[in-house]
Structure 1
Amino acid sequence: MIKRLISLLTAIALLFSASYLVYADDNPQDAIAQNRIKFQQMSDNIIEINQKIIDMNDQLDKFKNDIAKNNKDINENTKLIEAEASNMERLVKEVESSQELANKRIRTMYISGYSKNFLEILLSSENMSDFFYKYEAIKRVISFDKKLIDNLITKKAALNESISKLNQKKQKLDELKASNVAALAKLDEDKQKLEALVKQFNQEKLAAAELIKENEEKLISHAISVVDSSSSGINDVKSALQTLNSLIPQLSTASVKAKAKDYVAKGNTKLADLIAKAAQESQPASNSSDTYKATYSMTATAYAGGTLTAMGLKPIRDPNGLSTIAVDPTVIPLGSKVFIPGYGYAIASDTGGKIKGNIIDLYMNSVAECITWGRRPVTLNLVAYPGEW
């Protein structure tokens, strides 16, 4: 468990040290794409680390339970040691008491007229009957005292052995406690490191989100400037509204999406005013021509599915709005707005391994539509480069 956590911390540290954010430049689409990838990467890392923290919390709880049980065992063992020590103390007193009792018997025999040793007592017998009587009396006294003292000594030895085993158990329990406490401290330290990484990744997520917002602001800035401009004509405003309506589903920052919607409402009002003014002045409702930056002869295939384009946008097929196509970025810059007769307006926001040179891939809503489209030659009109629409 600890080795795996060390490996995880090392890998994440290397990833974090190598991470970077893409700042706003002349191509906000690329910046948005890369920062969305970074944002998702940080989110995935945070999810993974949080799962590790959950696992570590389980391990911490286990170690805490083990330590609690260990402490309980130590307390019970300590009580047993104290009890055995108390028994030993009592037994020692019994041995001393028994020895003192034996000594008293000897003194009583002396006071009763016996000589200084048992041999003299026996030799002082008046006859054989007296001799055997004294012999049996001495034998019983010696045997009783010996059994008493031997029994106490055996109990003492058993208690010593019990105390020794309990002390050995105490030593093992203490070692186990020290090991668990050390493991707990190490896990807690690793958990703190992971929590610090989560905090750092969250900060980087916020930075990435801020840069996504900045680049999305730049992505809609041209259309907004057209709506705000007093010199914009009807077709200019229509084009700006088409751009805003097509980008809104692809925007991820709530405030930028709300701003785009506000300008759609503002643009619709302006467009209505321009049309009404043109009608009053009897002027054609157009002041711009269908001129393109460039025109290419392309071979178009079709694809469906997928969640995000190379720019990090959601792929869309909207015949009345702005669809998604995949291009070779060395031919058509990512983020360009194009018009393809028979397909409609689109943003070049995706790439593909087989999309090279003058081959493009058009996004469809279903595989059936892709099969119907097949592979056909098309004309691609480049309406605007990134940052111009």
Structure 2
Amino acid sequence: MRFFKKVVAASLTSIILLSTTIMANAETSQLHNSEAQLQENAKLIEQKQAEKESLLTEVNNLQSELQTLENDISNNKKEMTNIEQKISEIKQIIEQKKEEIVVLEDKVLARKGVMEERLVSLQHNDKASLVIEILVNSENLTELVQRATAVTTILNADKSLLEQQQSDLKKIEEEKAAIDQQEQLLQEQYATLASNHALLEGNMQKRQAILTTVQEKYNSVVSAIKLAEEENAAIQARINEAQARLAKEQQEAAARATAITQHAEAQQPAPNTAATNNSNGTKANTNSNTNSNTSSGKELYVSATAYSHESSATGLTATGINVRQNPNMKLIAVDPSVIPLGSRVWVEGYGEAIAGDTGGAIKGHKIDVLMPSTAACIAWGRKTVKIVILD
């Protein structure tokens, strides 16, 4: 009997460990899948990080180019402002020169009148005859000298007047040409600066458009990294939960197996009252077959119903036995205060079973016998049966 109890305890322990192993394998498979997804996300994050760094470098380069363009535009504007100021100054000088030219033109015009009178006089009188006439009409030597000096002065004045007239006319033309040239040069410089400014502004707009596109890509990559990291955190949380659940299930299974083994070892074997009256012949043999399972242990009468793995939410019993994997197992649900869990129990009309489960409706002298299907449960119905707690 002790050996038999050890075998039963070992069988129960094996069943518990087997069901735990199957569950552990399922949890382990889920863990492996989660870890694989975690690694895949880690690779994705690494790729996105590299792309992020590349885009960040591109953004920085574009911003540097934009800063350079802004500086160039600013400098170009300053040069244009300087040129505009110079053009304004030149225009003022031009106005001043125009006034000076008007004065010179008036002087030239005035000299022109005097020179015309002199020319008319010379046309009517030969210059040499005029000089001789002036000298001959002198009354004395002193007057002669004075008149000769006056004639020389007049002739020199005419010459100087002519030279000044020619010089002023030349100066007017030169100043006009210089002013026109300087104004044209400044206008050309301003046009060049304006063209450069338009070119710089165009480059600025292009760089701004490129920068906007790159920044959008950068923001998209940052969002993708954030989503991947959040998904990784969720996966890691599921992994941690699965690992904790697996460890707890393994501990509970080990505790149940230990409890069953200890309970089986603690029970004392009941005396086996075998049939000893061989003189009764056929009657003795019949009684021995009938009472072989009921000749020892505590006898009770209970109300018996049935259940199957099909109605079980998890398929696991209170002692951790997986009835979905063992639908034909002889097992009953009991009230532990009446029938100890782990006990071997003989049930009238059902046979020897293991008290391996409990139930919310199983209170007092009630049991639930495990059937392989719902149809078998219906066929069993509700019965009042005799049971014997064997150990």
**TM-score, normalized by length of structure 1?**
0.48
Give the number of the structure with larger relative contact order, counting CA–CA contacts within 8 Å between residues 6 or more apart: 2
TM-score (ref. length: structure 2): 0.48
Larger Rg: 2
